[in-house]
C-alpha cells in the first residue's frame, strides 16, 4: 500500500492499494462528514464494480445514490453533464454532500466538473479504475467536458478530497485500454525517472503496479505542487503529445491516445538524438521501453503530413511550435522550433 500526498492549494492523499475498493467507505468517512454521496459511473464499470461499491457505502451508513451513463468519450459532453447536475439536484445533494467518480478518465473528468459547478462547488472523490486515470487524470484537479469545437474546452480546476486507487480493478481492463495507459506511464519515466524507465523496459506490461502507479502519482504530485494551475512546468507533461495529437488526427482517432503518445515519445527521442540534444544511447533506452510496453516506434504517416497536422495544434505560437525534447532520461526541456525547421526535425525522428 502507498499513500501519496498531493500538496495542492487544498492538500489530499492518493491511496494506492490492492483491494482498496472494499475499504472505500472507511477512506471516504475519513475525509468527509457527508451523510449522502452520489456515485457517478459508466455502464461498463457499473456492471463490474457498481453494486458491491454501493453496498459497501450503504452498509457503512452513507445514503447512496448512483448515476450511470454510457461508457466512452462520446458521453463526455454537456448533455451528460446536465443530466448529472439534474440528478444531483433531484436527489437534493447539498454543499455538505459528496460526489464520487468511479471509473476511468471520462467518468473522473465529467464528475469532477459537475462537482466543481453544482452549487458553486461541492466535494468529490476520485476512484480511478483505468491505468490512465490512476496515473494521470485522477490527480491534479483538472476536469472538463468536450464541446463540438474541441476536447476539454469547458472545464475547471477542482481538487478531489481523496483518490482511492484499487489497482486490482486493472485486471478487468481490455488489453488495449491497459496498453493505452502505458503511454502516459512511459512519459513519466522519460521526464523524471531513469529507475522507472528501466523497470518498464525490463518488465514490460508485467510491471510492478504499486511501484509504477505510486511513482507516476508522486511525480505528477510534485509537478502539481509547483504548478497547480498549469501556467508553466505542468506543460512538460505534454511530452510526446504534439506528435501524438497529429497521429490521432491523421488516423481519424482510430489510433488511441496512449499508443500515439508512446510513438510520439519515440519520434521525439530519436529526433533529439539526431539533433545532438541527447545521446543515441538515451534514445535507444526510450525506444526499448516503448517496444516493451507493446507500442510502435513509428507510424505510417509522412513527416510532412505529421507537420501539417501539428501546425494546427494549439501549442503553435506564430512561426514557432513548442516541442518538449529529451536531453537525458529524467531531463527534458521545451524547445521552440521554427515551422521551417520542424519538417527536418520530425523526419529525423521517423528514421529508425
Ligand atoms: N483531467 C486530466 O488531467 C486528464 C489527463 C489525461 C486524460 N484525461 C481524460 O481522460 C479520458 C480518458 O480516460 P480513460 O482512458 O480512463 O477512458 P475511459 O474512462 O473512457 O475508460 C476507457 C474504457 O475502459 C472502461 N473501463 C474503465 N475501467 C474499467 C475496468 N476496471 N475494467 C474494464 N473496463 C473498464 C470504460 O468503461 C471505458 O469503456 C479522456 O477523456 C481524457 O481527456 C484527463
Ligand atoms: Zn495524454
The CB of 112 under 6 Å from ligand 1? The reply is no
Whether residues 46 and 82 share a domain: the answer is yes
Sorted by sequence, the CB contacts under 8 Å of residue 175 that are 6+ apart come out as none
Ligand nearest to the CA of 243: 2
- Per-residue model confidence as pLDDT tens digits over 39-85: 999 999 999 999 999 999 999 999 999 999 999 999 999 999 999 99
Predicted pLDDT of residue 127: 98
Q: Are residues 260 and 337 in contact, defined by beta-carbon separation less than 8 angstroms? A: no
Clarify whether residues 122 and 61 are in a common domain.
yes
Residue to mutate (ligand 1; options 44, 160, 169, 227; most atoms within 8 A of CB)? 44
Same domain, 163 and 230: no
Residue 315 pLDDT > 70, yes or no? Answer: no
pTM reported for the whole predicted model = 0.96
User: Does the beta carbon of 137 lie inside 6 Å of ligand 1?
Assistant: yes
Q: Which ligand is nearest to the CA of 77?
A: 1
pLDDT higher than threshold 90 for residue 317: no
Q: Quick one: 185 and 60 in the same domain?
A: no
Render pLDDT for 278-295 as a digit per residue (tens, 0 to 9). Answer: 999 999 999 999 999 999
Concatenating the DSSP letter of every residue in 53-103 gives HHHHHHHTT-EEEEEEE--SGGG-BHHHHHHHHHHHHHTT--TTSEEEEEE
CA distance 289 to 306: 23
Residues 6+ apart with CB under 8 A from 320: 336, 337, 338, 339
Mean pLDDT of the chain: 96
Q: What is the pLDDT of residue 319?
A: 85
Same-domain check for residues 99 and 84: yes
Whether residues 104 and 25 fall in one domain: yes
Residue 111 CB less than 6 A away from ligand 1:
no
Q: Is 68 in the pocket of ligand 1 (CB under 6 A)?
A: no
Rounded mean pLDDT, 99-106: 98
Residue 314's pLDDT is: 59
136-159 pLDDT, tens digit per residue, is 999 999 999 999 999 999 999 999
225, 6 in Cβ contact below 8 A? Answer: yes
Protein residue with its CA nearest to atom 33 in ligand 1: 173
Same domain, 247 and 158: no
Domain boundary among 133, 150, 172: 172
- Residue 42, C-alpha cell as written in the block: 459508466
- Chosen domain end from 172, 202, 232: 172
Q: Report pLDDT digits (tens) over 244-287.
A: 999 999 999 999 999 999 999 999 999 999 999 999 999 999 99
* Same domain (yes/no): 233, 201: yes
> What are the tens digits of pLDDT across the range 206-224?
999 999 999 999 999 999 9
In tens, the pLDDT along 171-209 reads: 999 999 999 999 999 999 999 999 999 999 999 999 999
Distance 211 CA to ligand 1 centre (A): 21
Give the pLDDT score at 313: 65
Note whether 192 and 261 are same-domain residues: yes
The ligand placed nearest to the CA atom of residue 257 is: 2
From the CA of 125, how far away is ligand 1's center (Å)? 16
What total number of domains does the chain contain? 2
Tell me, yes or no, whether 251 and 159 share the same domain: no
Q: Domain check: are 219 and 314 in the same one? A: yes
Which phi and psi (to 5°) does residue 22 adopt? -75, -15
- pLDDT at residue 26 greater than cutoff 70: yes
pLDDT given at position 4:
97
pLDDT band of residue 334 (cuts 50, 70, 90) is: very high
Q: Write down the residue that cell numbers 482510430 correspond to.
A: 254
Q: What is the CATH number of the domain that holds 315?
A: 1.20.1090.10
Range of the domain at 179: 175-350
Say if residue 352's pLDDT is above 70.
Answer: no
Q: What is the pLDDT of residues 83-100, one digit of tens each?
A: 999 999 999 999 999 999
Residue nearest to atom 41 of ligand 1 (CA): 106
How far is 306 from 310, CA to CA, in rounded Å? 6
Residue whose CA lies nearest to ligand 1 atom number 4: 137
Residue where one domain finishes, among candidates 126, 141, 172: 172
By 3-state DSSP, what share of the chain in percent is helix, strand and coil, each rounded to 5?
A: 55, 20, 25
Using an 8 Å Cβ cutoff, are 173 and 130 in contact?
Answer: yes
At residue 180, the pLDDT reads 97
Amino acid at each position: 500500500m502507498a499513500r501519496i500526498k498531493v500538496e495542492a492549494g487544498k492538500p489530499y492523499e492518493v491511496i494506492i492499494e490492492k483491494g482498496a475498493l472494499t475499504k472505500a467507505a472507511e477512506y471516504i468517512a475519513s475525509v468527509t462528514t457527508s451523510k449522502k454521496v452520489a456515485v457517478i459511473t459508466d455502464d461498463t464499470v457499473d456492471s463490474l464494480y457498481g453494486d458491491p461499491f454501493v453496498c459497501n457505502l450503504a452498509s457503512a451508513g452513507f445514503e447512496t445514490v448512483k448515476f450511470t451513463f454510457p461508457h466512452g468519450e462520446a458521453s463526455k459532453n454537456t448533455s451528460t453533464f446536465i443530466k448529472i447536475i439534474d440528478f444531483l439536484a433531484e436527489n437534493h445533494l447539498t454543499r455538505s454532500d459528496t460526489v464520487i467518480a468511479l471509473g476511468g478518465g471520462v467518468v473522473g473528468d465529467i464528475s469532477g466538473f459537475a462537482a466543481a459547478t453544482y452549487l458553486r462547488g461541492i466535494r468529490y472523490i476520485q476512484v480511478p479504475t483505468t491505468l490512465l486515470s490512476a496515473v494521470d487524470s485522477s490527480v491534479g484537479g483538472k476536469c472538463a467536458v468536450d464541446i463540438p469545437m474541441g476536447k476539454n474546452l469547458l472545464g475547471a480546476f477542482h481538487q478531489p478530497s481523496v483518490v482511492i486507487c484499487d489497482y486490482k480493478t486493472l485486471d478487468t481492463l481490455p488489453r488495449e485500454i491497459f496498453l493505452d495507459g502505458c503511454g502516459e506511464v512511459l512519459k513519466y519515466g522519460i521526464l523524471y525517472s531513469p529507475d522507472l524507465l528501466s523497470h518498464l523496459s525490463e518488465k514490460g506490461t508485467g510491471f510492478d503496479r504499486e511501484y509504477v502507479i505510486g511513482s507516476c502519482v508522486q511525480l505528477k504530485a510534485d509537478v502539481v505542487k509547483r504548478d497547480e494551475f498549469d501556467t508553466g512546468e505542468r506543460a512538460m507533461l505534454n511530452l510526446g503529445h504534439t506528435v501524438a495529437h497529429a497521429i490521432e488526427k491523421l488516423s481519424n482517432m482510430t489510433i488511441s491516445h496512449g499508443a500515439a503518445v508512446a510513438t510520439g515519445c519515440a519520434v521525439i527521442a530519436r529526433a533529439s538524438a539526431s539533433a545532438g540534444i541527447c545521446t543515441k544511447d538515451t534514445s535507444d533506452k526510450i525506444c526499448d521501453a516503448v517496444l516493451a510496453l507493446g507500442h510502435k516506434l513509428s507510424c505510417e504517416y509522412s513527416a510532412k503530413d505529421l507537420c501539417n497536422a501539428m501546425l494546427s495544434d494549439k501549442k503553435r505560437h506564430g512561426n514557432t511550435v513548442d516541442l518538449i525534447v529529451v536531453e537525458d532520461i529524467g531531463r527534458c526541456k521545451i524547445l521552440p522550433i521554427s515551422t521551417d525547421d520542424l519538417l527536418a526535425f520530425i523526419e529525423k525522428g521517423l528514421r529508425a
